[in-house]
Amino acid sequence: MPYTDIDFEKPGKQVGNIDFPHSIHTDAWGVLPIPVCVIKNGTGPTIILQGGNHGDEYEGPIILGELVRDLDPARVSGRLIILPTINRPAIEAGNRCSPLDGLNFNRTFPGKLTGSITEQLSSYVHDALFPLADAFIDLHSGGSSLNMMPSAIIEPCKDSNLAQKIRAAVMAFGAPMNVVISNYGDPRTSTAAAVRAGLVTVGTELGGAATVTPQALEIGRNGVFNLLAHLGVLEEKPEPTLLQATPVHQISGADAYVRASETGVFEPFHKLGDKVEAGQGAGRIHFLSDPEKAPVELVYARKGVVYGLRQPGNVRPGNCCVVIATRCQEQVIA
């Protein structure tokens, strides 16, 4: 079973590991150490901050690593549980999924204590950490396959009271764009599981393309501090502009995704942030080994804003090439 020397009730800053027994051919009695930091001071809420959900999304681990190193416990009112690289095997491989079992950590919740190593990780977060917390922050970006507009993510929630708190927290993050994302309604994501556990939940998409940009890091750093202030863990207050009414977008169904229909190389017609119309050409797939074959054009099924773009040019049928976000009718006020 997982174990750690970290005392989650002890004041001050502790940095260590959660060790997961991992018996393999080359290490019969080994463990997989997952870094964890707990910062506790005074009274206040408990916030889980998670990075490295996917191993090709680097902004979260960088931002949370800075928080581990630099945050003075005296500034904190409450408790932070920081997991900078929750999916350490995937981080070290630079891969979306774990090389140890091939699983996508973000499709394994609520996990399984006696399952594969990735299922054990999600089980620990779900069963051991969620019950300690009031809020959950999960820092993502688009990874290797997508480049995304930097944004804060609203996880759908059926509880109206919790939904209002979630939207207020997302607004306080202060990203240039806020988007409702349901992941096709998949309940196995960490944010969906956190919402079911009753936690105020905020996700992000901080760029992507398996790269790191100063813009994405700045948005993420500022957003984390804004959110911790909003939640009452830090004394700093968010900028007043963040409390004004802000439009929210959503990915509103399967037709928001433009998917490849052929194997080839995708050429997009638009860039991130462009406004597009239903029926308009989204791009085309080229057949480089057959120059006589005309490209196949893909079209948008709905109007909106180009929110995500395929990063590798090579595509196969079913690959996501473009993601369209549409503006919600309502205004959300923090």
pLDDT tens string 92-143: 999 999 999 999 999 999 999 999 999 999 999 999 999 999 999 999 999 8
Taking the model in full, what pTM does it have?
Answer: 0.91
Task: Write out the two tokens for 281.
Answer: 């050409």
Confidence of residue 334 (pLDDT cuts 50, 70, 90): very low
Task: Write out the two tokens for 313.
Answer: 């040019």
Residue 309 contacts residue 273 (beta carbons within 8 Å)? no
Residue 226, amino acid: N
Q: In this structure, how many other beta carbons lie within 10 angstroms of the beta carbon of residue 116?
A: 15
| Distance separating alpha carbons of residues 324 and 40, to the nearest angstrom | 41
Residue 81 contacts residue 67 (beta carbons within 8 Å)? no
Q: In this structure, how many other beta carbons lie within 10 angstroms of the beta carbon of residue 318?
A: 8
Average pLDDT over residues 29-48: 95
243: left (phi over 0), alpha (psi -120 to 50) or beta: alpha
Confidence of residue 184 (pLDDT cuts 50, 70, 90): confident
Strand order in the sheet with 281-286: 296-299, 281-286, 264-268, 314-315
- DSSP summary character for residue 219: H
- Provide the pLDDT for residue 333: 37
Task: Write out the two tokens for 299.
Answer: 């079209």
Q: Which residues are registered as beta bridge partners of 268?
A: 283
Sorted by where each starts, the structural domains of the chain and their CATH numbers stand as 3-247 (3.40.630.10), 254-328 (2.40.50.100)
Residue 60, amino acid: G
